[in-house]
Amino acid sequence: MIHGFLRVAAATPECIVGDCEKNTAAILSLITEASQKDVSLVVFPELCITGYTCADLFAQEVLGREAISSVNFIAERTKNLPIASIVGLPFAFGNARYNCAAVISGGKVHGIVPKTHIPNYGEFYELRHFTAAPEEIATPGTCEKHLTHARENYIPAGVFGPEPVLFGTKILFSDEITTAVSFAVEICEDLWVPSPPSCEHVREGALIIANLSASNTVIGKDDYRRNLVVSQSGRCVSAYIYANAGSGESTTDLVFAGHNIIAENGTILSESETFTTGLTCTDIDTLRLLAERRRLNTFGTSANYLKVFIPLIKETTKKPLLRKIDPHPFVPESPASLSKRCEEVLSIQAEGLAKRLVHTGCKTALIGLSGGLDSTLALLVTMRAFDKLTLPRKGIIAITMPGFGTTAHTRSNALKLAQIAGTSTEEISIKKSVIQHFKDIGHTGEVFDVTYENAQARERTQILMDKANMYGGLVIGTGDLSELALGWATYNGDHMSMYAVNASVPKTLVKHLVKYESEKTKQFSSVLKAILETPVSPELLPPENGQISQKTEHIIGPYELHDFFLYHCVRWGESPAKILFLAEEAFLTKKNDEQDGEKALYTRSEILQWLKVFFRRFFSQQFKRSCLPDGPKVGSVSLSPRGDWRMPSDASATLWLKELDSLE
C-alpha cells in the first residue's frame, strides 16, 4: 500500500444456479485474477456459492452442505494469496437458516456475517428461506483468538476449519498492523432500509463497507442503486464496495445485471457496465477517509464490536493508481457540471455582497478595474448583486489606475468592460503620486525592487479607500484564493478591501467563471475573451515593447499546480510526499481537454520545485491571511481566519520542506 491507497474489487462471476462446484471455480478464478492485480480485498455477490435464485432448493440439505465445503475449498486454495475475499452462502446455524457472507483470508474463514434485513415484498420472498440475523451483544475489543464471548457468537470448530469461527453482524475485520484500516459487512437489503447496519459499523471504526448483493434490474433501478451507494458512502465517510449478482442467475421472473459500484465518501471511484461479469477494481484512499473522520468531531467512535485481525495491507512497488487523480480538483470535468458550478459560485458571491450592501446601506461600490481576470470577476459579481437589489449599475464605480507597468491592452479592456456593463468609470494615474512617494522615502524609483512594486499597490488601495469615503461606498476586493495561499498580494495594499468577493475562489476556477459569463451574456463576449487571453500579471514593472513583462506564473509557478497543492494540503491535510505522488499521477500523463487542448507535461523535478515554493510561501505568508477582510466561502477550501483555516503566523515549515528535500 502506497500513501494509504488500498486496492479493492467488486466481483461478479458467471453463475450456474445450484452448481456449487462450477460457481466455486468461477469465484477462485476471479480471486486469483484480483490477487495478480494487487487487490487486497475482493467482494462477491450475495449467495454466489449457490446462486441467489435457488428458491426452495435452499431447504435441501445437500445444497447447504456443499456450500460449506465450497467455502472451505476456497479458503484452502487461496491460503497463499495475499488477499481477503468475501463470498455469499446459505448457512444453517442452530434452529435457523441464514443468508450469510464468509470472510476468507490466509487459508482461514475468519467470520460469518448473516443478513440483518430480509425482504419479503414484490419479487422478493426471502423470509420463506432465511431468518434475519439474531440480536447479539458483543463483548468489546476482543480478538478471535481469545474466546471469552458467549458461545452463541461462535460456530463450533470443525465446520469452517479446526477453530471456532465468529458468527454475527457486530464484527470488525481490521488489518493486523494498521488497525484503523478495517471493514465490516452488510448484505443487499441492509442498504435499502431506513437505518442500514453500516451506520453502526462505521461508528465502530469500519472504514470500508462490503455489500454482497443480488439486486435485480428493472427500469430506473440502476440510478436508484447508484444513489444509495453514493449517499451511504458519503454519510458514513467510508468506502463502499457493492458487488451485485449477474449473468447465470435464474431468469424465471427476474434479470440480474451485475451492476458493481465502488464509492468513496460520496464519489463513485469505479463502476461496471451492466450485463457484464468480472472485476471492478480501484484504489481506496484510506488516509483521506481517516483524515476526514478526524476532522468531523460529530462522527464519534465506540468499541462494542468483536474484532478480527487479518492481513489487509501489503507492501507493493509503486504502480499507477486505478483511480483517476483530477489535476484540476476545483473545476468539474463535464461541461454540464462546470456550468452548474459556475452559476452556483457566482450566485453565492453575489448574495454575499448583496447582504453586505443592504446591511451597510451602501448603494455604491468601488472596484479597481485593471483589465485582469480577478478584477473582471469582481465586477461581474458586483453587477449581479446590484441587479439583484435593483440598484442602478451607475452606482458601481470602476476606477482604472494606470501605473508604470500598465499596458494599453489591459487599460483598453478595462474601459471597454465598464462601458458595456453600464457602470461609472474614473481614471486616476498613480505615476505622479508614487514618484513623489519615492522622493519622500528616499527611493530612486529606478530600482525595480519589492518597494517599487508595493508602493504602487498601496497607492491604488489608498485611492480606492478614500474614494469610497467620498462616495459612501464599499471597496470590493479582487484578490482570489490562490493568491491568498501564496501570499501574492501586497500587505495593506490589494490585500485589503471592505468585502472580498473572490476570497475563496481559486485561480483555476476564476477563468471558467469569467468564460461562463461571457457565454451567458453575449455583449461581453469579445472583451471577456480578450481578458481571458491576457497573461496573469500584477503589471507593476515597466512593459517591454508595449507588452506585459511581469508574468506571475513565470515567477511563482503554474497556478494549476498550486491549486492542486492547495486542495490536497488544506482540504485533506496530506503530506508533501503524498501530494507529490498524487501530482505525478495527475500531471505526468498528457491530458486532453476539450476547451484548452493538450496540456503540457510537468516533469517530476518541476512538480517538486513548485511544491517547495508552495510550502515556503504558504507558511511564510500566513500573516496576510490572519487579517483578511470578510468574504463569502464558496467551496470546500477557504483560508478565512474566522472559518476553515486557523494557523499561527510564525509556524515553521521545516518539517514539510525536510520531507520534500528527502524526495529529490
| Spatial separation of the C-alpha atoms in residues 367 and 421, rounded to whole Å | 13
Q: Is 80 exposed, middle or buried (0-12, 13-18, 19+ CB in 10 A)?
A: exposed
Going by C-alpha positions, the residue among 100, 34, 37, 94 that lies closest to residue 70 is 100
| Spatial separation of the C-alpha atoms in residues 283 and 140, rounded to whole Å | 30
Please confirm, yes or no, whether 108 is among the known catalytic residues. no
CB 405 within 8 A of CB 539: yes
Q: How far is CA 95 from CA 66, 287, 614, in A?
A: 19, 43, 64
| Spatial separation of the C-alpha atoms in residues 114 and 187, rounded to whole Å | 8
Task: For residue 462, give every residue at least 6 positions away whose Cβ sits within 8 Å of its Cβ, in sequence order, or none.
Answer: none
Catalytic-role residue among 115, 307, 511, 578: 115
CB 606 within 8 A of CB 535: no
Task: For residue 469, give every residue at least 6 positions away whose Cβ sits within 8 Å of its Cβ, in sequence order, or none.
Answer: none
Compute CA 241 distance to the chain's CA centroid, rounded to the nearest angstrom.
17
Q: Where are the beta strands (DSSP E) in 38-133?
A: 41-43, 84-93, 96-105, 108-114
Q: Cell for 144? A: 478471535
Q: Which amino acid type is present at position 383?
A: M
**Helix or strand holding residue 345 (H, E):** helix 335-360
CB 435 within 8 A of CB 328: no
Please confirm, yes or no, whether 46 is among the known catalytic residues. yes
Question: CA-based angle 365:368:373, to the nearest 5?
Answer: 110
Report how far apart the first and last C-alpha atoms of the chain are (Å, whole number).
21
Residues shown for the chain: 664
CB 208 within 8 A of CB 263: no
Q: What is the dihedral of CA 377, 396, 367, 387, to 10 degrees?
A: -30
**DSSP structural state of residue 569:** I
Catalytic-role residue among 15, 46, 48, 126: 46
Please confirm, yes or no, whether 188 is among the known catalytic residues. yes
Catalytic-role residue among 15, 100, 188, 281: 188
Which residue bears the cell 484540476?
328
Which residue bears the cell 454466489?
48
Exposure letters 238-257 (e unless 16+ CB within 10 A, then b): bbbbbbbbbbbbbeeebebb
Going by C-alpha positions, the residue among 263, 344, 297 that lies closest to residue 635 is 344
Catalytic residues: 46, 115, 188
